[in-house]
Amino acid sequence: MAQINVNNLTFYYDGSFDNIFEEVSFSIDTDWKLGFIGRNGKGKTTFLNLLMGKYEYRGSISTNMVFDYFPYPVKSEYLTRSATEFVEEWKEGTEQWRIICELSQLGLDAEVLYRSFGTLSFGERVKVMLAVLFSGENDFLLIDEPTNHLDRESREIVKEYLAGKKGFILVSHDRDFLDACVDHILALNRQTIEVQAGNFSSWWENKSRKDAFAKMENEKHKREISKLKTASERANRWAEKNESMKIGHDPVKDHDWGNGARPYIGAKTKKMQSRVTQMKNRIDREIEEKEGLLQDIECPAELKMMPMEHFKKRLITANGYGIKYKEGDKFLFKNLSFEVNQGDRILVKGTNGCGKSSLIKAVLKRAGWKGENEEEKTEVIETGSLQTVSGLVISYISQDTSFLYGKIKDFCRKRQLDESLFCAILRQLDLERVQFGKNMEDFSEGQKKKVLIAASLLTPAHLYVWDEPLNYIDVFSRMQIEKLLLDCRPTMLVVEHDVRFGERIGTGIIEWQ
C-alpha cells in the first residue's frame, strides 16, 4: 500500500483573484476507493489535473504512483474509427484481452471495440473508456463524473463495476452512486479539506453533527461575550467614577478627606481597572475560540420560484402517442398515454436513446415554446395524440449548455430577466461574485447549469420542463433545489437520473424502454 502525500499545496490560475488551494496538506492511501466532493468551482477537477502534472504549483505532491484520468479525450477523427485503432493513444501499452475482460464485467461484448466509435451510445462510450482505464496494472485512477448523461440501467452497471474495484478517486455528485462505490471521502469544505473513512451518507451524518455542535458552541460563545461586555462596561464606568472622585473635594462636606480616603479610592479604582482588563482578556479569548467555528458550515439560502396557476387542471394529455424520426427505421416509442395535472412533478424515465428528450421537445413544440438553442431540424413522424392546454407558459432547462456565451448582463437582457435578481439567485446557488465579470463560455459545466437553473427559477410559468438539470451540479445545490421544489410544489416534467432526487421530488413516472 502506497500513499499520496500533499504538503502545503498552493495553486491559482493566471489572472485569478483568489487561490484555488492555499497551504493545503493531507495524505491518502492508494488502495482506497475515495469519493471526492465539494461545491462547483472549488477545484475538484483542478486537483485531478495537478496530480496529472498539467499545471505548475507551489508545495509538493509526493508519490510513486502513475495516474490515469477518465474521461479520455475523444478527437473528431476517433468517431469514424474503431476503439481498437486508438486505445493505445489513450493508454499506452494496454493489452486488448484485458480490455475485453473489463468490458465483460460492464455487460458489453468485445464487438463494441470494432464498431465505429461514433455509432456507440453515450453509455457504451463511457463503458469502453472505463474498461481501458482499468485494463492497466498498478495505476491510481482519477475518475471525473462518469455518470453524467447515463441512464438508470447504465448507472447501476457502472456502480456495481466500481464497487468491485479499488485504488481510485471518484468525483461524483450522485449520493446513491457515492454510497455504493466509495469507502473514504475527500471533502473540499468551504475553508478546509478533510479526509474521512466511510461513504457519503456517513460523512454527511458526521458533518451534520459537527455543524450542529459548532452552531451550539458559537451561540454559547456569543452569550458569554455579551455578558462579559456588559460586565466590563459596568466595571469600567465604576472605575471612571471612582477615579474622578480623587480629584477635587468640598472641605466642609469631605472634612475627613486627608485621613486616608484618597489612597483608599485610588486602590479601589486600580482593583476595578484590573478587573476590566481581565474581562477584556476573557472577551478576546472567547472571540478567538469562536473564530473558525462556522467556517465550513453549509447554510444554503432559501431559493424561491414563481409558479403560475392555469385555469385548467389538466395541462398535458397523451393518448397512444409515438415518435419516429423520418430517416429512422423504428419508433423511439409508441402507444404512450399519460396526463400531467397541476401540482404533478412527473419523472420521465427510460434508457439512453429511448426518446425522452424527443418527448420533451414535442411537448415544447405543442405549447409553442421558442428557444434559441432548441431548433428541431429533424423531421419526425407522430402517431396518436399529444395535446397541451392553450396559453401554457413553460420554463425550460435544456441538457445543452453550448449556447451560453458572453456576459451575464447580456444573457439577462436577451431573456428579459432582472439582472440584480438573477445574480442574487446565482449567489444563493453559491456562484462566486467574481464569476459575474467573466464570459459564460469560461464557466465550468456546473456553473453553466446553475445559470440555466437560475433563469428557470426567475421565469414565472405554469409548467417547468427540466431535461437533466442536475448534470455537473454539486450535491449541496441538489439538496437545496430539492427543498425548493418540495416547498413550492411547481408543476414539472423532469428527465433526471439522480435516484435520490427522483425519490424525493417525484409524484409520478412516465417510463418506457
259: pLDDT strictly greater than 80: no
Residues 259-278 have a mean pLDDT of 65
Number of H helices, E strands in the chain: 14, 17
pLDDT digits (tens, 9 = 90+) for 412-454: 999 999 999 999 999 999 888 888 988 999 888 889 999 999 9
| Unique residue bearing C-alpha cell 430517416 | 327
pLDDT digits (tens, 9 = 90+) for 2-13: 899 999 999 988
Residues 63-92 have a mean pLDDT of 93
- Gap between the Cα atoms of 379 and 361, Å rounded: 12
Q: What are phi and psi of 505, to 5 degrees?
A: -100, -20
Q: What SS3 state is found at 329?
A: coil
pLDDT for position 218? 75
pLDDT for position 239? 65
Instruction: Classify residue 378 by its DSSP letter.
Output: S
- Gap between the Cα atoms of 90 and 13, Å rounded: 27
Residues 44-56 have a mean pLDDT of 92
CA distances from residue 443 to 34, 226, 346, 406, 494 in whole angstroms, order as listed: 26, 44, 30, 11, 24
**CATH assignment, 314-511:** 3.40.50.300
- Gap between the Cα atoms of 459 and 104, Å rounded: 47
pLDDT for position 249? 54
Query: Residue 390's closest CA among 367, 371, 369, 370?
Result: 367
Instruction: Classify residue 106 by its DSSP letter.
Output: T
Q: Provide, for the chain, the percentages of residues in helix, strand and coil under a 3-state DSSP scheme, each rounded to the nearest 5.
A: 40, 20, 35
What is the four-CA torsion angle of 85, 91, 96, 100, rounded to 10 degrees?
Answer: -110
The mean predicted confidence, pLDDT, of the chain is: 87
- Gap between the Cα atoms of 430 and 39, Å rounded: 8
Secondary structure of 390-403 as H, E, C letters = CCCCEEEECCCCCC
Q: In the numeric block, which cell numbers belong to residue 424?
A: 442574487
Tell me whether strands 168-171 and 139-144 are parallel, antiparallel or unpaired: parallel
Tell me whether strands 492-495 and 463-467 are parallel, antiparallel or unpaired: parallel
Query: Residue 338's closest CA among 356, 314, 357?
Result: 314
pLDDT for position 73? 93
pLDDT digits (tens, 9 = 90+) for 478-489: 999 999 999 999
374: pLDDT strictly greater than 60: no
| Unique residue bearing C-alpha cell 446553475 | 450
Query: Residue 121's closest CA among 325, 380, 326, 354?
Result: 354
DSSP letters of 203-253?
HHHHHHHHHHHHHHHHHHHHHHHHHHHHHHHHHHHHHHHHHHHTS---TTT
Instruction: Classify residue 139 by its DSSP letter.
Output: E
Going from N- to C-terminal start, the domains of the chain cover 3-207, 214-290, 314-511
pLDDT higher at 143 or 301: 143
Beta bridge partners of 347: 494, 509
Q: In the numeric block, which cell numbers belong to residue 164?
A: 468491485
The yes-or-no answer to whether 3-207 and 314-511 have a common fold is yes
Q: Which residue type sits at 403?
A: F
Beta bridge partners of 47: none
Residues 64-79 have a mean pLDDT of 93
Q: Which CATH class is domain 3-207?
A: alpha beta
pLDDT band at 513 (very low <50, low <70, confident <90, very high): low
pLDDT digits (tens, 9 = 90+) for 219-242: 877 777 677 677 667 766 766 666
342: pLDDT strictly greater than 70: yes
263: pLDDT strictly greater than 70: no
Furthest C-alpha separation in the chain: 118
Q: Which residue type sits at 62?
A: S
